[in-house]
Homo-oligomer: A and B are copies of this chain.
Amino acid sequence: MDLFEAMFTQRAIRRFSPEPVPDELLRRVLDAAIHAPSGGNNQSWNFVVITDSDVKSQVGRIYKQAWDDVGLSRFANDPDASRARIYRSADYLAERMGDAPVLLLACIEGSSGSRSLATGASIYPAVQNLMLAARGLGLGTVITTVHKHRETEMKELVGIPDEVETAALIPMGYPEKGTRFGPTTRKPIEQVTFRNHWAHNIEFLPHSEI
């Protein structure tokens, strides 16, 4: 698959077919993940691949508790229709996280003092590679972090050591029938990009003027 096609059609998939994910594809997705950049190429990442039904159910239970703790399902009735749609879909996933064919926990090593925003520069590029690779192979994913509200329980369940933190929980599987990849809608570049200073929204020169 073409690089740009993958990036421009990577819709969040939250409804999965029960069809299992072959190990061969799982390996390819993980191989993409570990080829991402990390600070000083330290590769201080770990991935826990959960395919056992019992463990998945327990992850699903913890995720649902965290979801309820945070009360995010209230956004399912948000006046913003696009936001409401996302949260209805996320609410659906929160009820069924444990049913996804594969659950992936992306983790990062580091002492707790060093776990700041910038630590994420050494794990989320790998998560994005993983999800793009999945897209390229016809597998759906969505990045979630809500389980962080029950981090201790989640770590205990799968035996993650103290000096390692979870960064994302990613369900993966073939999209449910009727669920499609497709173009995503975003705010325009000009609205979120500045040139040289925050006071100057970017303008691009047409090719002919370069």
Contacts and interface: CB of A to CB of B under 8 A. Distances in A.
Interface string A25-53: 01110111011110111010111111110
Contact of A128 (B128, B193, B206, B207): B128
A124 B19 CA distance: 30
B35 A7 contact: yes
Contacts of A87: 40
A22 interface: yes
Interface residues of A, number: 89
Interface string A133-165: 100100000110100100000000011110001
A116 B196 CA distance: 27
B198 A159 contact: yes
Contact of A116 (B82, B115, B161): B115
B189 A145 contact: no
Contacts of A118: 120, 145, 148, 167-168
Nearest to A185: B41
A202 B46 CA distance: 11
Contact of A121 (B28, B136, B161, B167): B167
Contact of A167 (B90, B117, B123): B117
B40 A75 contact: yes
Interface string A99-130: 00000000010000001111111011101110
Contacts of A202: 30, 49
A86 B124 CA distance: 21
9 contacts: A7-B35, A10-B36, A26-B204, A34-B186, A41-B86, A46-B193, A118-B120, A121-B143, A161-B198
